[in-house]
Amino acid sequence: MNNARRPSMIGDALAQVGAAGLFLFAILAAIPKSLRHFRETLRQIWFVGAMSLVIIMTCGLFVGMVLSLQLYYTLAKFGGTAALGTVVALSLFRELGPVVTALLFAGRAGTSMTAEIGLMRATDQLSAMEMMAVDPLSYVVAPRFIAGIVAMPLLACIFNALGILGAHLVGVSWLGLDNGTFWGNMTANVDVWTDLVNGVWKSTAFGAVIALIATFQGYTTPPTSEGVAYATTRTVVSSSIVVLALDFVMTAFLM
Amino acid sequence: MNETNHPNGADPATAETDAYVQIRGLHTVLNGKVIFDGIDLDIPRGKITAIMGPSGTGKTTLLRHITGQLDADAGAIRVDGRNVPDLSRNQLFDLRERIGYLFQNSALLTDFSVFENVAFPLRQHLRLPEEIVRNIVLTRLQAVGLRGAAELMPAELSGGMARRVALARAIIRDPGLMIYDEPFVGLDPIALNQVLKLIRTLNDTLGITSILVAHEFAAVRRAADHVYLIAGGKVAAQGHPDELAERDSPWTRQFFGGEADGPVPFQYPARDYAVDLGFPAGVA
C-alpha cells in the first residue's frame, strides 16, 4: 500500500512561492553580471515597453473616457461635477493606472517572456548557453527582470496621461464641463508626491513581481509544448492575483 | 556479461594520468530506473572515444554528468583532473569554457543568424576586434561548408545544416574536450563524410580529446580510436572499433549486427502480447 501523501494544493502553492523566492535571489545575484549585456537589457526594455504602447495607450484612453462618463453622472447628483478632473486624476494615479497597466502588462509582456524562455528551455537553448559558459540567468532572465521594472512605471504614466486625456474629451469636449474648472481643480487637489509618485512606486513593484513570475514560470517549465502553454497561463493567473493582493497591501502602507 | 578486460570496465592501458575524463563507480537512477550501475570508464587524452549503446541506455545522460549538467547519485567524474560534482557554479563555467558540446538537436539560438550563433561564444568571453571575429567565424563556417549561409536564420536551415552550424559554434574556441552527441543524424552522405573528416582533423591537428556518441558504427569505425559499448547500466564491451567488430560476443554481435534478439531486448518491457490483444496468454 502506498502511504505517500499527495501534496495538497496549498502545499504546492507554498513550494512554488518558496522556489520563486530563491529564484529572485538568483536573479539579484546575476544582475551585476547582466550589466555586461546592457544592449540585451535595452532590447528587452524596447520589447516589453515600446511594443506594449499600443494596448496601454488605447486602454488608457478608454478607461479615462468611461471613468469620466460614470463619475460625471454620479457627481451631478450631488452638484459636484466641478470635482470631475480631481476625482478622475486621483482614481487613475493612485489605483487604476498602476493596476490596470499591470494587468495589461502581465497579459502582453509577461506571457511573451514566459513563452520565449519556456521555448528556449524546451529547445535546449538555455542548456547550450550553460555549455558555452554563459549564465542564462544573467543573459536571459536578469535583462527581462530589469526591463519589467523599468518599463512598468513608464507605461503606467503613459496610461495615466491618456486616461486624463480621455476624461477631458468626455467631460469637457462632450459633456460641457468648463475647461478651467477641470484642470484647475485637478492641479489644486492632486499632490505629486503623495498621489502620483506613490502610483509610480506601486507600478514599479508590480513590474518586478510580474517579471519575476513570468521569468520563473518560463525558466522552470517542463520542456514540452503543453508545459509552455500551462506556464503561460499560470503567468497571467498568478500575476493578476499577486498584483491585486499587493495593491491592497501597498495601498494600506502608502495611504 | 561484461566483455571488458577489466572487472570495472576501465582499461588499465589508459592509465590514470593520460585520461582527460575519468569516471569511477558512477551510479544514476532517473525516475526509478537504474541508468548506470557503477560504471567506470576513461576517455584518453587526445583520442576520439565513441560511446555506443542501445537507445535509452544513458549515453546523453553520461555526457550531462561529464559536463556537470546533471548530478549523479554516486561516483567520481574527473574532467582534466577536477572532480565535476565538487565544482562550484563558477568553477563549472571555467571548465566549460574549455569544452565544446554539440547538442543532439543543435540548440541554435533562434533569434540570432547563423553568423551570430557561431560568433556567440567569442562575443561573450573575448573582447576581439570585429574583423578578427568575422574571420574566425567564416573560417569555421567554411570548415563545415556553410560560409554562404552565414546570414540565414536557424529557421531557414535544414536539420543537417543546423547540426553543422552547431558544430562550427562548438569548435569556435578550439576546446580541449569536444563532445559530439549524435553528430551524424540528419546528414547526407557528403556532409557526413566532411563532418567525419573534420572530427578526425580536429583531433589530429589540434590534439583535441573527443567523445563521440553515435549509432552509426561504420562512421564510428572510421573516426574513433576507442569504443565503449554501454548497455544495462554497465560497460558491456570496449576496445578498438575494428577489434570490437570482429569480437564474437552476444553484445557486439547483436549491437553491431543489428539483430533484434540478444542480450539487449528490442521490445520495451510489456505485458504478454496476446493478453494485450485480447487473446489467452501465449497465443500470439
The string of DSSP codes covering B186-205 is T--HHHHHHHHHHHHHHHHH
DSSP state of B144: T
- pLDDT tens readout for residues B69-97: 999 999 999 999 899 999 998 999 999 99
Q: What is the pLDDT of residue A37?
A: 85
- The question of ipTM being above 0.90 is answered as no
Indicate the fold that domain B16-98+175-276 takes in CATH. Rossmann fold (3.40.50)
Q: Report whether B193 contacts B200 (CB < 8 A).
A: no
- pLDDT tens readout for residues B55-70: 888 899 999 999 999 9
CA A11, A16, A18, A23: dihedral to nearest 10 degrees? Answer: 170
Question: Under the phi-then-psi rule, with left for phi > 0, alpha for psi from -120 to 50, and beta for the rest, what region is A5?
Answer: beta
Q: Which residue of B lies nearest to A124 if distances are taken between CA atoms?
A: B107
Interface check A131 vs B, CB under 8 A: yes
Q: In Å, how far from its chain's centre is CA B107?
A: 15
Q: What is the pLDDT of residue B33?
A: 87
First to last CA, chain A: 56
Q: How many CA atoms lie within 13 A of B221 on its CB side?
A: 9
Q: What is the pLDDT of residue B228?
A: 92
Q: What is the pLDDT of residue B283?
A: 67
- DSSP H helical ranges for chain A: 9-34, 38-48, 53-77, 84-91, 97-105, 111-122, 125-131, 136, 142-168, 179-189, 198-219, 225-254
A152-156, B141-145, B231-235, B237-241, range with greatest mean pLDDT: A152-156
> How far apart, in whole angstroms, are the C-alpha atoms of residue B149 and residue B156?
9
Q: What is the pLDDT of residue A59?
A: 97
- Residues of chain A with Cβ-Cβ distance to B108 below 8 Å are 125, 128
- pLDDT tens readout for residues A185-232: 999 999 988 889 999 999 999 999 999 999 999 999 999 999 999 999
Q: Report whether B44 contacts B20 (CB < 8 A).
A: yes
Interface contact B124-A128, CB threshold 8 A: no
pLDDT under 50: residue ranges of chain A = 1-4
Q: What is the pLDDT of residue A5?
A: 54
Shortest CB distance from A124 goes to which of B94, B103, B121?
A: B103
> How far apart, in whole angstroms, are the C-alpha atoms of residue B249 and residue B221?
18
- Residue A128 phi, psi dihedral angles, 5° rounding: -60, -40
Domain regions of chain A by residue span? 37-254
Interface contact A133-B67, CB threshold 8 A: no
Question: Does the pLDDT of residue B7 top 50, yes or no?
Answer: no
Q: What is the pLDDT of residue A109?
A: 95
* Nine cell digits for residue A143: 535583462
> How far apart, in whole angstroms, are the C-alpha atoms of residue B31 and residue B42?
27
Q: What is the pLDDT of residue B242?
A: 86
Considering chain B, what percentage of its residues have pLDDT values greater than 90? 44
Which pTM does this prediction carry? 0.85
Domain regions of chain B by residue span? 16-98+175-276
Q: Which residue of B lies nearest to A123 if distances are taken between CA atoms?
A: B107
Instruction: Determine the residue type at A239.
Output: S
- Residue B45 phi, psi dihedral angles, 5° rounding: -65, 135
B150 vs B272, residue with greater confidence: B150
Interface of B with A (CB under 8 A): 67, 69, 89, 93-94, 96-97, 99, 101, 103, 105, 107-110, 120-121, 124-125, 169
- Residues of chain A with Cβ-Cβ distance to B89 below 8 Å are 135
A5 vs B172, residue with greater confidence: B172
- Residues of chain A with Cβ-Cβ distance to B124 below 8 Å are 132-134, 139
> How far apart, in whole angstroms, are the C-alpha atoms of residue B272 and residue B283?
10
Q: What is the pLDDT of residue B10?
A: 44
> Where does the pLDDT of residue B4 fall: very low under 50, low under 70, confident under 90, or very high at 90 and above?
very low
Interface contact B107-A127, CB threshold 8 A: yes
Question: Does the pLDDT of residue B178 top 80, yes or no?
Answer: yes
